[in-house]
A and B are shown apart, each in its own frame.
Chain A
Amino acid sequence: MNYYKDSHLTSPSHGLLAKLGVDAEVALMEEGIGPDPDAAVYLSGSLVEGFGNRGSDIDIFVVGSLTPSSSGMLIHKEHFTISLHYYDQRRVDFEYWPEAPVLSLADRLATMRLGEDFVAEKLASVEELFIHRLHIGLPLRTPERLEELRALFDRRRFCQYLTQQSIHRIDGAVEDIAGMLDDQHYEVAVLRSRDLAALATDAYGHSLGNTNPLPKWRSQVLRVLQRNHPDDLRLSEVKQKFWELQFPSPAKGLLIPSSAERYANDCLEFAERVVQWIQG
């Protein structure tokens, strides 16, 4: 028995779409997706996470053997196809992923040697986003298919990958900053130091279970992490230091060499402390 087929109007995904002014069943039917498709069909994206805004589009994933209908505008990517629809002011993207690249992606994550030296960029950005959105997705059809798909991607392992990747990026930034300071390139050193503080913040977030890889939601991620880890004093410190280092006062003074060096050292020290918290 398909729960959502019979009582879809009470499902979280249908409810959320209704709040956004989109009738889920109309949208699904326009795309030719019936009540029991040969695919995992789920709602995901920033609106599901509570991060989105009135300009955010709606992402509906279709993973399996279904192909897009001709009713939407199609955008073909390397591994998937997007079918675009518009409902009033809201854009709805149906993202179609065939099974083969998804299984290949799951296999790459499962067989990745996470302890080895360089794991960074072993997954493409779009693949990281796919895994994240799979884990936060809300089923629109056949929830058991979504659960089967999710089970292929170990969330803990994915967090370890993202954490390790952030630490590799930290290491790259530290080397950049050292060279920039040595050559007295203070403007770029200050900006790279600012990146470093953000990368350290990302690393700590991933170590606590954040799977969202998008920098644009960093502050929202911190807010959610604090809600989920209210007793984590290190997280409070990371959050406070992140904002201090993003907007140091007075920012204009940073272009004075001594101030630039001091700011860079603050960022370096912060990043190192955070990595030690993560790695022990």
Chain B
Amino acid sequence: MSFIDLESTPIKSIRARRRRSSAGVVIIADNYHHSIDATIDAVWCACDGVRTVREIAENISSDLAMPPGLALAAVIGAILFLGSLHLISWTLPGHPTQ
């Protein structure tokens, strides 16, 4: 099981690209196309290496009108998903731990 440090600052992989098409939004990396929903897309866009996971969740809560607890859960889920595909990494000090 993975844990997320809420003070860690996730950042998009430089090699991953976000593309919009008629089918929705995909993230492309290493020739793979990953379809993502609006929540994961919002999290992806917020992974700028500056904002912490906690701050991203606060923004998502506000932008998508989600209760804070639900937004935090959604953000953690999205980050775990993106991290498992190596689409994001973490800047120090926080990073996922086993």
Q: How far is the CA of A118 from the CA of B94 in the complex (A)?
A: 39
B13-42 at interface with A (beta carbon < 8 Å): 14-15, 17-23, 28, 30-31
A175 CA / B22 CA spacing, docked (Å): 22
Q: Kindly provide the distance from the CB of B48 to the nearest chain A CB, expressed in whole angstroms.
A: 12
Q: Are B22 and A171 interface neighbours, CB within 8 A?
A: no
Find chain B residues with CB under 8 A from A115 CB.
21-23
* Least Cβ–Cβ distance between A174 and chain B, in angstroms: 6
Instruction: Tell me the minimal C-beta distance from A280 to chain B in angstroms.
Output: 7
**Residues of B contacting A116 with CB < 8 Å?**
21-22
Check A279–B20 contact: CB distance below 8 A.
yes
Q: Is the CB of A269 within 8 A of B14?
A: yes
A171 to B21, CA, bound (A): 14
Q: Quick check: is A117 within 8 A (CB to CB) of the other chain?
A: yes
Instruction: Please classify the interface of chain A as helix (H, G, I), strand (E, B), loop, or mixed, using the class held by over half of its residues.
Output: helix
In the bound complex, what is the Cα–Cα distance between A34 and B30 (angstroms)? 58
Q: How far is the CB of B82 from chain A (nearest CB, A)?
A: 15
A272 to B45 alpha-carbon distance, docked (Å):
12
A-B contacts, CB under 8 A, total = 35
Q: A265-B14, A268-B15, A269-B14 are in contact. Are A175 and B31 (CB under 8 A)?
A: yes
A36 to B39 Cα, complex, angstroms = 62
Known contacts A171-B28, A178-B30: A117-B17 contact under CB 8 Å:
no
With A175-B31, A268-B14 in contact, is A167–B22 under 8 Å at CB?
A: no
* B21 and A275 contact, CB distance less than 8 A: no
| Docked pose: A131 CA to B72 CA in angstroms | 51
How many chain B residues have a CB neighbour from A under 8 Å?
12
Chain A residues positioned under 8 Å from B22 (CB to CB): 113, 115-116
8 Å CB interface, A261-280 against B: 265, 268-269, 272, 275-276, 279-280
Specify the chain A residue showing the minimal Cβ separation from B15: A178
Contact yes or no, A174 B19, CB < 8 A: no
| Chain A hits for B28, CB < 8 A | 171, 174
Chain B nearest Cβ from A157, distance in angstroms: 14
Question: Which B residues lie within 8 Å of A170 (CB)?
Answer: 17
CA distance A175 to B33 in the complex (A): 12
Shortest CB-to-CB span from A192 to chain B, Å, is 13
Closest to A117 in B: B21
Inter-chain contact A280/B21, CB cutoff 8 Å: no
Q: Do B14 and A171 have beta carbons less than 8 Å apart? A: no
Looking at B17, B20, B22, B28, the one whose CB has the most chain A CB atoms below 10 A away is B17
Cα(A233)–Cα(B52), bound, Å: 29
Q: Report B-chain residues with C-beta under 8 Å of the C-beta of A117.
A: 21, 23
A275 to B31, CA, bound (A): 17
The minimal Cβ–Cβ distance linking B35 to chain A, given in whole angstroms, is 11
Closest to A278 in B: B20
Among B15, B18, B23, contact of A276 (Cβ-Cβ < 8 Å): B18
> 8 closest Cβ contacts across the A-B interface?
A115-B22, A279-B20, A178-B15, A268-B14, A265-B14, A175-B31, A115-B21, A272-B17
Q: List 13 A-B contacts (CB under 8 A).
A: A113-B22, A115-B21, A116-B21, A117-B23, A174-B28, A268-B14, A268-B15, A269-B14, A272-B17, A275-B17, A275-B19, A279-B19, A280-B20
